[in-house]
Structure 1
Amino acid sequence: MSNTPSAVIFDIGNVLIQWRPERLYAQIMPAEEMDRFFAAVDPHEMNDQIDRGAPFRETIYAHAEKFPEWANMIRLWHDRWIEMASPVIDDSVEMLRTLRANGVPCYALSNFGVESFAYAETCYPFLTEFDRRYISGHMRTAKPDAEIYQMVEADCGFSGPQLLFIDDKPENTAAAAQHGWQTHIFTQPAGLRTVLTDLDLPVP
């Protein structure tokens, strides 16, 4: 890590809120059947379309029609979505709030659908607390595409090492590093706390 950044950018899924679709399916399907389900219907590819702006319910229900054997399971991606996107990672949210309370601009940069994000806001009020929010569904591009990082820089006024980006996926932080951003691959709040401390950023 280098100099203290001017702003901090948070991913949401698995940084501020757990995103574990497999956890829901593991509760209702035997492990072998769940493996067959994910291999056969590739719901993460369907979710990527939503993250890039496709409609939430319509995309999932249309996908279900293609796979009659798994249709009920696929529709759960919409009908029980909030169970996949939970719970909040409280320590991470506390760090977000401490940074902002101390005058550090904090942004969200997340692969998230338009309607699913609006739904999440009704469940998780802290999602309204960012200084700016860059949601892939609205931007019609997604991490790790270079375009989304360029759009963030153009809008927020910071670039390169002025930005610290926190994400759980190495491919997303690698793409950010290509733009000169400082990055941290999130695995647990304790690791993030150490990074913020090392960069002379306020922590709770």
Structure 2
Amino acid sequence: MSKRIFDRIKLFLYPLLFYILNNISNKWTRTEVYGKEKLEGLSGDTPLLYAFWHGKLWLPVYYFRGLDYLVLSSLSRDGEYMTRVLKRYGYQIIRGSSSRGGSRALLALIKEIKKGNSAFITPDGPTGPVYKVKPGIIYLQEKTGVPIVPLGVAIKHKKVFNSWDRLNFPLPGTRAVMIFGELLEFKPDSCSIEERAVLLEEALNRVQKKAEELLEIKYSG
């Protein structure tokens, strides 16, 4: 079998297996959601930027399925795999990354958010450093005026993969917690983009720590 044919098989098979496993594992996970009432004062068509760490994406990918949310996916091979998974869940995909097509992708994302579409962002993606907010999401918030919702996602019994993002995979029958943090609305003239990134990083770490404390597990940040 030629490498080209093998690559095509992987391109079809890997996303399909990820999708099936994500579905099954989320059904065997007892996920508790807290803090969603923080969004109740908003009008139904208010767009939001949901932010969570890349390694915690296993549960949110399933939770936000079917809502037509926007996702920025890198132009790498891994990004192509993830794009195919997310499309099965009904997400709108914009391709680009910090190294290739990033500026065009951000502009496209801004345009779609201004139309009223919500998005979810992993601020330390697509390649890390882990648990460090990159400025892209702050730039998005500045240009759109859309609130950021930090999410904490914790799993009691899990497999932590040896990947840059320390991807968390729930083991059968485990309990999990997802917490919606306080909405963040930064004013552009309040401080620099770098300082706002630090504030978001601190907010993400706080809500992540709270989620892990509810499960009585050691904070991973």
Q: Shorter-chain TM-score category?
A: 0.3 to 0.5
- Structure with larger RCO (C-alpha < 8 A, sep 6+): 1
Alignment TM-score, normalising by the size of structure 2: 0.36
Alignment TM-score, normalising by the size of structure 1: 0.38
Higher fraction of helix: 1
